[in-house]
């Protein structure tokens, strides 16, 4: 229930979100994890505990993560029944670093040693034909990526926005929640298996395999092969999209039927999880529709009783749809993003080092527009600024008119143009059924805000003055590709 003046529970306000989507009643405590080092411990302990399955879905695994691979190796040696499935993005997972290594070269020995390890690499159909040969590594990733972050050990699943690399385990702040629920773990295992059915597979090289990245550098005896009868996304994108869409639609429709709930049977003491996915390049727009409906429901509530929301993203690059929904909403909004110093591009070389300036320009444009065109003084931008740390957390906290959050969203989406139009994304909407969990989610928000400061229009204007003029010419590219 609410501590505010209304008698409406979040379960009543948001009950339309439970229609035509899979819904999971969670009976075990949900662990809200705060620190990157604790996230890393969760991953290692999860691998150690697992007896039946380990499923890791990430953008990439850092090529230096030998300890993680050692843990997998030991678990497989100890446990011949253990099945391991790793899903990465094909472009990012084969990108060669300065040491001549990649995610695939790190994982190749594991694939060779263990028959029950599968490494799947999703390739976007948007990078095909001439684009495939014309764009260099790093830049080709702007066409679309496998961005889903879910880490599953038997019947536990950790949902996050974090990748599996050193900075995400030490000083790159993200969000992480562990759910101990077999049906929910089965759902995410099913999701990753479905995507892997139309993804490349890391295998021993033969005549029918694609070479890996920079040929001869990364695991030269390994190659990539598509499952039989899967059209090549780079050579035959339209057939690939048709087949991938059919696979995903079958999975999502099956999940919706299996995990349908009757809203009339829900109690405000139920902790509910609603997973949603977005794969617009494959014709799947579930999360986009879900987010729109969430905004609409919270807005209807706000117009009657008032409402406070917070939305976080690694980058101030919210999609035009999200920005419009925030501006049109009757809710008060805090938007939490990385400060320039906490942006992953801050220490980058070349043109990339100016990307944080570009985000400051976006922030200034938005705040000025919100104040002048909409008269909104109740929208604030907070920047995460913690010395020596970068910021990558994303999600939504909805308080309705209460002191504690009544809903949170957590997952891989940055709520940007790319999240909606280019990448494969998954997030969960969590409606907590008890005060303890509400408080844990609230403390997580306060913890992130404790390392943040509110920025003013004046401060942002001062920052943008020092940005080179040519940067403005890149605005359309950066707004859609970063």
The per-residue pLDDT for range 61-73, each reduced to its tens digit, is 999 999 999 999 9
Annotation says 149 is catalytic = yes
Question: Is residue 469 over pLDDT 50?
Answer: yes
By the 8 A CB rule, do 479 and 362 touch? yes
In this predicted structure, what is the pLDDT of residue 348? 81
Catalytic residue among 149, 323, 394, 451: 149
Strand partners, 271: 26
3-state DSSP call for residue 434?
coil
Written in H, E and C, the secondary structure of 192-238 is HHHHHCCCEEEEECCCCCECCCCCCCCCCCEEEECCCCCCCCCCCHH
| Rounded mean pLDDT, 38-53 | 98
Sheet containing strand 332-338, strands side by side = 24-26, 271-278, 425-431, 407-411, 395-398, 308-312, 332-338, 379-384, 452-455
pTM for the predicted model, two decimal places: 0.95
In this predicted structure, what is the pLDDT of residue 466? 81
Annotation says 112 is catalytic = no
The per-residue pLDDT for range 289-308, each reduced to its tens digit, is 999 999 999 999 999 999 99
| Closest among 158, 156, 180 to 169, alpha carbons compared | 158
* CA-atom Rg of the chain in angstroms: 22
DSSP states of 242-260: HHHHHHHHHHHHHHHHHT-
Structure confidence at residue 76 as a pLDDT band (50, 70, 90): very high
Token pair 């040491």 in the structure block, residue = 99
| Closest among 69, 29, 408 to 181, alpha carbons compared | 29
The per-residue pLDDT for range 223-256, each reduced to its tens digit, is 999 999 999 999 999 999 999 999 999 999 999 9
The per-residue pLDDT for range 107-166, each reduced to its tens digit, is 999 999 999 999 999 999 998 876 676 676 667 788 999 999 999 999 999 999 999 999
Catalytic residue among 11, 114, 123, 147: 147
By the 8 A CB rule, do 290 and 419 touch? no
Give CA angle at 269 (10, 9), nearest 5°. 20
Backbone angle region of 217, left / alpha / beta, with phi > 0 → left and psi within -120 to 50 → alpha: alpha
* Residue 43: alpha-carbon gap to chain centroid: 17
Catalytic residue among 73, 89, 114, 154: 154
Q: At what angle do helices 320-328 and 286-305 cross, to 10 degrees?
A: 10
DSSP state of 94: T
Structure tokens at 123: 């390739």
Q: Is the dihedral of CA 47, 49, 54, 59 positive or negative?
A: negative
By the 8 A CB rule, do 272 and 18 touch? yes
């Amino acid at each position: 229930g609410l501590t505010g003046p209304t008698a409406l529970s979040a379960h009543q306000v948001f009950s339309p979100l439970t229609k035509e989507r899979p819904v999971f009643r969670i009976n075990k405590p949900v662990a809200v994890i705060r620190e990157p080092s604790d996230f890393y411990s969760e991953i290692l302990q999860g691998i150690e505990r697992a007896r039946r399955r380990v499923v890791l879905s990430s953008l990439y695994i850092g090529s230096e993560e030998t300890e993680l691979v050692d843990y997998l190796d030991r678990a497989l040696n100890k446990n011949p029944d253990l099945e391991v499935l790793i899903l990465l993005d094909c472009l990012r997972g084969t990108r060669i670093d300065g040491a001549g290594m990649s995610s695939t070269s790190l994982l190749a020995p594991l694939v060779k040693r263990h028959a029950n390890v599968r490494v799947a690499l999703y390739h976007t159909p948007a990078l095909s034909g001439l684009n495939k040969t014309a764009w260099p590594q790093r830049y080709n990733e702007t066409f679309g990526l496998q961005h889903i972050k879910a880490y599953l050990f038997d019947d536990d699943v950790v949902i996050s926005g974090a990748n599996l690399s050193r900075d995400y385990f030490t000083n790159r702040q993200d969000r992480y929640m562990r759910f101990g629920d077999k049906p929910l773990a089965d759902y995410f295992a099913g999701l990753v298996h479905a995507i892997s059915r139309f993804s490349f597979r890391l295998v021993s090289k033969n005549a029918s395999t694609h070479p890996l990245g920079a040929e001869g550098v990364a695991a030269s005896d390994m190659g990539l092969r598509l499952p039989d009868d899967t059209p090549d996304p780079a050579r035959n994108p339209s057939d690939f999209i048709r087949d991938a869409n059919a696979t995903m639609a079958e999975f999502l429709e099956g999940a919706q039927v299996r995990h349908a709930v009757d809203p009339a049977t829900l109690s405000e003491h139920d902790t509910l999880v609603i997973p949603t996915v977005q794969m617009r390049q494959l014709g799947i727009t579930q999360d986009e529709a879900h987010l729109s409906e969430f905004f609409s429901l919270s807005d209807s509530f706000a117009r009657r009783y008032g409402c406070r929301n917070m939305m976080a993203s690694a980058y101030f690059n919210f999609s035009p749809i999200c920005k419009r929904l925030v501006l049109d909403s009757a809710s008060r909004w805090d938007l939490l993003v990385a400060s320039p110093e906490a942006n992953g591009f801050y220490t980058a070389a070349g043109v990339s080092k100016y990307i944080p300036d570009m985000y400051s320009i976006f922030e200034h444009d938005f705040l000025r527009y919100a104040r002048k065109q909409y008269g909104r003084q109740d929208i604030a931008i907070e920047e995460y600024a913690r010395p020596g740390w970068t910021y990558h957390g994303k999600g939504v906290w909805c308080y309705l008119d209460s002191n504690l959050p009544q809903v949170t969203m957590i997952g891989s989406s940055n709520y940007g143009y790319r999240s909606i139009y280019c990448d494969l994304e998954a997030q969960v909407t969590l409606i907590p059924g008890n005060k303890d969990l509400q408080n844990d989610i609230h403390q997580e928000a306060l913890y992130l805000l404790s390392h943040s400061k509110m920025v003013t229009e004046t401060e942002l204007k001062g920052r943008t003055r020092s940005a080179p003029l040519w940067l403005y010419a890149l605005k359309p590219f950066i707004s859609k590709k970063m």
